[in-house]
Every structure is written in C-alpha cells, then in structure tokens.
Amino acid sequence: MAEKYTIGVDLGGTQVKAALSDDEGNFIAKLKERIDKDSAKAISDQIIRIARSLCSESGANSTDLKSIGIASTGPLDLRKGGLINPTNLPFKFVPLTKPISRELKIPTLLVNDCIAGVLGEKVFGAGKGLDNLVYITQGTGIGGGAIVDGHLLSGKDGNAVEIGHIVIDYMGRLKCGCGKRGHWEAYCSGRNIPNFVRMKLRGISKKKIRDSLLFKNVRGDFSKLSSEILFKSAKCGDDLSSELVEEIGRLNAVGFASVINAYDPSLITVGGSVALRNKKLVIGPIKKYVKDYTRNRTPRILITPLGEDVGIYGAIATVLKSET
Ligand SMILES: [Zn+2]
C-alpha cells in the first residue's frame, strides 16, 4: 500500500501539538502535550512517541507514513536539524530531525514556525490562490512569514521576515529580548506588553490609575501585570485598560504598515495567542490606524481561519511543498 499520511508537528515554547493528516489537510488524529523538558533528547523521544500514538489511535500502520514536518519557534539550525539556544528550553542544542528520522525511518523536515504559518495559510487557509500574502503571529513574541509573487521569502540565514524586530520607536525607550532597543516586539508582544504598560502609566494621573479596574486586577502591584490581565480588564469596559489596548493597537498598526509597505501583500492573516484570544481588540485598532502609515494599497487583514492549528497545517504544507 502506498504511503498516504503526513504528521505535522507544532513545537512551541510550552506545548507540542501534532496531527496525522492526509494530503488534503484532513486531520485523522490529533494530540497535544506539554513539552517534556527533562533533557534535550527527551523532546525528540516525545515526538516519536506522539507519532506512534497518532498511528495507533487512527488504525494507521507506520508504513502508511510518508514523512513528518516540524514547525518550531527558533532559533533553528537547519544544517544540524535542531534548535539552537531556544528561548524557552534550558538546552544549548535540541536535536530533532536525525533521531526522529532514524527511529521512524521517514524523512523529517524542520521549518521556522512563522514561515510554516504563511505556507499553511496559502495551502489550507485564507491564502488559497494568492501569490502575495503575509502571516503575522502576535503571541509571546511577534514574527512573520511572507510569500511575494509566489515565492516564499527566506533570506541568506532564513531570517528574511523577522518583522518583530522592525523599529517602531527610534527613541528606543524599551529593550527587546534580542538585546536591541525600540523593536515592535518590545512593545506589543505578549511577553513585553506589561513593560509597555508600566512605561505608559508614568504619564497617567495616580488617581486615574487607582480608580481603574486594572489597578484592582493587579491588586495594586503592576509587577504582577500580564497581557492577559490587561485584555481581560479592557473587555470588562475599564477605561484605562481600553486606552492602553488602543495605544498598543496603534503601535501594531505602525508595524503592519511597515510590512505592507515592504511586501505589498493582498492579504495579511494574524495568529498567535494574544491575537487569537482577543480577536476584536487586536484587529480593530490595526484596521482603524494602518492607513495613517501606509503608502501602498491596504490589504485584507483578518484572523487566520486555521486558528491554533496554523502551525500544524504549516508543517504539513512544508512537507507537501518539499515533494513537488
Ligand atoms: Zn528585537
């Protein structure tokens, strides 16, 4: 019998998600686990175990598998086939492709999760039939993938669309996780939104702060602030939180405008935990303000219809692309 199934894996900072899929992107079985952080080797062992569970759960044989694609947050070393100094894992190197393909005896492909995202969107999502599209993720960090004139952009080191590090503040008031200042991600990513809020609060009257629901929700201690608390307070109608969310949206619009001016897409889809959990509050202000900063014609901007599975779809799309 011919091999018919692909396994798509989305390796994030805390979770690994995977699905067994046919070539049309129909998931036969799906699994989600916390990443096993016991050792660097434990992660490839976990993916091998998940692949076998997906097969047994769906009655598939290991000989039915043709390949496995892994979309992962970086930084990646594609030559060695693993993660190098990953932000959320305490290891210098996490080997992936070699141990997995040796054990499962199928080709194993590794790809940057944002590059996978835009491919997944084009093959399975809102980007079908389009030659110019960008995928932007606003989660713990900010990243993107772009297809321009039908070409998937990569760059000399695979970092052509590191849009989270676009400079949106030349004064460089906030420092980014990469060590440089003024980057979009330093203001608007899930991890850094609290830094931005604390900076803005210095210019707001103490009375307004003390009267806010936000103040109550952090119990008067802004070192306890998270992006979840900010968006939750805004959804409850808190004025201060809503103003801060609007301001974050304006900064997002500055970032989106740079992307539009650089790549001229006809569609931008948006994923990542912050955007997926707060769809209206994230997309609304971007659409409202982006025209203030663009020169190019504004594209359609929408939340990815692939939702939380965009990484898995991207991993599968990467495998399919490698076969053509
Ligand atoms: Zn940066």
pLDDT at residue 294 is higher than 90: yes
pLDDT number for residue 86: 82
pLDDT, tens digit (0-9, with 9 covering 90-100), for 233-292: 999 999 999 999 999 999 999 999 999 999 999 999 999 999 999 999 999 999 999 999
pLDDT at 1: 46
CA of residue 179 to ligand 1 center, whole Å? 6
Categorize the per-residue pLDDT at 2 as very low, low, confident or very high, splitting at 50, 70 and 90.
low
- Look up residue 160 and give its two tokens: 């052509």
Strands 267-271 and 133-138, how do they pair? parallel
Strand ranges inside the chain, DSSP E: 5-11, 15-21, 27-34, 65-72, 76-77, 82-84, 93-95, 108-112, 133-138, 142-148, 151-152, 267-271, 300-303
Residue type, 154: S
CA of 135 to the centre of ligand 1 (A): 18
- Centroid of ligand 1 to alpha carbon of 223 (angstroms): 22
Q: Compute the distance from residue 215 Cα to the ligand 1 centre, in Å.
A: 29
Residue 199 CA to ligand 1 center (angstroms) comes to: 18
Q: Do the strands 5-11 and 15-21 form a parallel or antiparallel pair, or are they unpaired?
A: antiparallel
Domains delineated in the chain = 5-118+309-323 (3.30.420.40), 129-305 (3.30.420.40)
CA 141 to centroid of ligand 1, rounded, Å: 10
Average pLDDT over residues 186-215: 97
Q: Is residue 82 left, alpha or beta, with left meaning phi > 0 and alpha meaning psi from -120 to 50?
A: beta
Residue range 263-279, pLDDT digits in tens? 999 999 999 999 999 99
Residue 63: the pLDDT is: 85
CA of 165 to the centre of ligand 1 (A): 4
Q: Would you say residue 215 has pLDDT above 80?
A: yes
User: Nearest 10 degrees: CA dihedral of 203, 208, 211, 214?
Assistant: -40
- CB-based contact 266:298 (threshold 8 Å): no
User: What's the predicted TM-score (pTM) here?
Assistant: 0.93
Segment holding 240, helix H or strand E = helix 239-263
Q: How far is the CA of 100 from the centre of ligand 1 (A)?
A: 32
The pLDDT tens digits for 42-81 are 999 999 999 999 999 999 887 889 999 999 987 888 889 9
What phi and psi values does residue 260 have, to the nearest 5 degrees? -65, -45
How many residues does this entry show for the chain?
324
Distance CA 139, CA 69 (A): 22
The per-residue b/e assignment along 289-309, b for 16 or more CB within 10 angstroms, e otherwise, is bbeebbeeeebebebbebebb
